[in-house]
Structure 1
Amino acid sequence: MNLTELNKIATAMVAPGKGILAADESSGTIKKRFDAIGVESTESNRRDYREMLFRSKEAMSQYISGVILYDETIWQDAADGTPLVKLIEQSGAIPGIKVDEGTQALPMCPGELVTVGLDKLAERLKKY
């Protein structure tokens, strides 16, 4: 990617009046949200929830400049077969990916967590 393209993306991401939608909940985090409202955390229910967000055309086009996605989400298709990434792009927002893979306990430091997955980011980016 050249500097002009990168500058264009950066400028779009900070457009006045718009923000970034963090739709990067891990399967565990979204399960907690769904449990609270009595919804089973299946792949199809998670997809339907995310599709509902991304098909909110007015909100997406007017207020969202970019969307951070979880690994599962970046590969999912909407119920009609449209890739969720395509729905985001059609709204004018820029899809992105969560760069880490969550946290885990830090050895010998009770109660402390450390971010994991950054060591595999270069390989993951090739897939995306």
Structure 2
Amino acid sequence: MADTFSQRLRAFVIEMPISEVEVAEVIGFTRRTLSRRLKSEGTTFTKVLNEARFNVAKHLLVNTDMRLAEISDALEFSEPAAFTHAFRRWTGTTPSAWRKKHQQVEPLCCAERPDGARVRQRRRLPE
């Protein structure tokens, strides 16, 4: 099954969070052509960007112990409250509550790296 343009764009904005104009320039479109192409697939740049941010947020909440402020910064929200507001709009719940519900992991433990340093990591519980 071939990826749609919006799916490829979503992957692109996850890797390189930039504006619509910058994305259009990088892929060789005008902003208007990019908008038309997305409209033909029933979406917009804002929707694609929000879906990408949501997917990254879910991943970070489940697979890391990053604080909400760190996740907010990583996703380029203006402040943690803006991230919490967006996440509540996407899911109907707060990021903290969503993390607690979806994070089926053993408590943080320590592992040794080859250089002898100890790092905190999470291990998934078998489902």
Question: Which has the larger share of strand?
Answer: 1
Question: Which has the larger share of helix?
Answer: 2
User: Higher RCO, 1 or 2 (CA under 8 Å, sep at least 6)?
Assistant: 1
Q: TM-score, normalised by structure 1?
A: 0.29
Larger Rg: 2
Q: TM-score, normalised by structure 2?
A: 0.29
